[in-house]
């Protein structure tokens, strides 16, 4: 195990981030929510040829990546149109996000739609679940990463807590591309200026990581959260990713699924961070073979890498 070695980012890490995200999403989706959501996913969670479907987390990440590939930077109007055009109820979007996207599709400007369901904008984790794309793309440009987090989240998630959740996940992914040591990544994450609501869960996560404490899935869910809000899921995803970063991907996803709650999104975010550290080549081959449109996602990651290299 290398100690905090600085590495040039590789295509393998771009692919690892996006496929790690999609795998976490698809493997976590059957365990998301309560009995009704799980039953529904049993009916619609497989493609005609038996592959595991991914959900809104992956769809929005692919839309964001496609926009960056096309434009080289974040253009809010473009990502709003792409998010709205891709919306399909069967991808399991959050209820508020679904309304926002349908309104944008009907012609409402995103600056109006993003505060039309909740007056201050949504504090859900929908802005954070796509933030790994920002993290890998801007991993060497801290200021641009900050702006891009804000811009990519705000079109659907205007609330400060949603934007800070996106910043946390994007920075954690960017740090994961360059460093391998969990404690090192965690201490850098602690230096981000986030809303006070993130302080307690992040401090506890750091304490656990530094002390070598191995909490159970139930303890993580209880102490850090497993909910649909950015505050109740993004510190959890960062902790889980760092706790399992040198252990098998599948063990990490099983841990998230055992913790319950917003399993697809927590596994998607931790899967992306895990993939950023370890790369595509470390992901489980058998699970990738079962993943809906895995090759397409890999191609998107490769194009994003090429766009990044082109400057």
Q: Provide Rg for the chain, Cα atoms.
A: 17
- Picking from 76, 101, 79, 104, the residue whose alpha carbon sits closest to that of residue 88 is 101
- Interface stretch with ligand R7I, choices 86-94, 186-194, 198-206, 236-244 (CB under 6 A): 86-94
Q: Which residue has the tokens 């895995």?
A: 294
Residue pair 297/18 in contact (Cβ under 8 Å)? The answer is yes
Which residue is it, tokens 């795998």?
23
| Contact of residue 292 among ligand R7I, Mg ion, none (CB under 5-8 Å per partner type) | none
Does 265 engage in binding with ligand R7I (CB under 6 A)?
yes
For the window 154-193, what string marks contact with ligand R7I as x by the rule CB under 6 A? -----x----------------------------------
By CB under 6 A, is residue 97 in contact with ligand R7I?
A: yes
CB of 2 to ligand R7I, least distance (A): 34
> Do residues 162 and 123 lie in contact, with contact meaning Cβ atoms separated by under 8 Å?
yes
**Alpha carbon 148 to chain centroid, angstroms:** 15
Identify which of residues 55 and 139 has a Cβ nearer to Mg ion in the complex: 55
- Nearer residue to ligand R7I within complex by CB, 122 or 139: 122
Nearest approach in angstroms of CB 25 to ligand R7I is 7
Check residue 92 for interaction with ligand R7I (CB under 6 A).
yes
Binding residues vs Mg ion (CB under 5 A): 55-57, 92, 262, 264-265
Q: Which of 5, 42, 88, 95 binds ligand R7I (CB under 6 A)?
A: 95
Place of tokens 């060497």: 140
The dihedral through the CA atoms of 226, 227, 229, 232 has a sign that is: negative
What's the min distance (Å) between Cβ of 103 and ligand R7I? 13
Identity of the residue, 15 or 264, whose beta carbon is nearer to ligand R7I in the bound complex: 264
Phi-psi region at 229: left, alpha or beta (left = phi > 0; alpha = psi -120 to 50): beta
Site for ligand R7I in 41-70 (CB under 6 A): 55-57
User: Which CA distances in Å does 181 have to 10, 134, 206, 226, 251?
Assistant: 18, 21, 13, 24, 19
Tokens for 176?
């994961």
Closest CA to 227 of 158, 157, 129, 125: 125
How many whole angstroms separate alpha carbon 108 and alpha carbon 133?
A: 26
Query: Shortest distance, CB of residue 87 to ligand R7I, whole angstroms?
Result: 11
Give 186 or 224: the residue with its C-beta nearer to ligand R7I: 224
Residue 307 CA neighbour count, 13 Å, CB half? 20
Per-residue x/- marks for ligand R7I, 188-227, CB under 6 A?
----------------------------------------
Q: Which is nearer to ligand R7I, 110 or 208 (CB)?
A: 110
User: Shortest gap between Cβ of 133 and ligand R7I (angstroms)?
Assistant: 15
Return residues touching ligand R7I (CB under 6 A).
Answer: 55-57, 92-97, 118, 120, 122-126, 159, 228-229, 262, 264-265
């Amino acid at each position: 195990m290398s100690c905090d070695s600085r590495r040039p980012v590789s295509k393998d890490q771009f692919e690892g981030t996006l496929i790690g995200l999609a795998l976490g999403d698809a493997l976590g989706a059957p365990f998301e929510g309560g009995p009704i959501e799980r039953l529904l996913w049993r009916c619609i969670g497989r493609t005609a040829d038996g592959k595991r479907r991914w959900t809104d987390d992956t769809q929005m990440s692919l839309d964001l990546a496609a926009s960056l590939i096309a434009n080289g930077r974040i253009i809010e109007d473009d990502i709003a149109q792409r998010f709205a055009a891709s919306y399909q109820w069967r991808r399991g979007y959050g209820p508020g996000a679904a309304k926002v996207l349908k309104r944008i599709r009907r012609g409402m400007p995103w600056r109006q739609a993003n505060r039309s369901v909740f007056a201050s904008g949504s504090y859900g984790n929908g802005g954070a679940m796509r933030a790994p794309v920002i993290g890998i793309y801007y991993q060497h440009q801290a200021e641009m990463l900050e702006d891009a987090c804000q811009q990519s989240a705000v079109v659907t998630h205007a609330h400060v807590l949603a934007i800070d959740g996106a910043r946390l996940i994007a920075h954690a992914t960017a740090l994961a591309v360059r460093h391998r040591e969990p404690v090192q990544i965690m201490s850098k994450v602690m230096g981000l200026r986030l809303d006070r609501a993130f302080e307690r869960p992040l401090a506890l996560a750091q304490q656990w990581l530094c002390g070598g404490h191995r909490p159970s899935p139930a303890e993580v869910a209880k102490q850090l959260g497993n909910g649909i809000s950015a505050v109740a899921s993004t510190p959890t995803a960062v902790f889980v990713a760092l706790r399992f970063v040198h252990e098998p991907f599948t063990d990490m996803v099983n841990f998230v699924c055992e913790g319950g709650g917003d399993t697809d999104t927590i596994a998607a975010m931790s899967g992306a961070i895990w993939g950023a550290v370890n790369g595509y080549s470390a992901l489980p081959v058998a699970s990738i073979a079962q993943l809906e449109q895995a090759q397409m996602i890999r191609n998107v990651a490769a194009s994003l890498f090429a766009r990044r290299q082109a400057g």
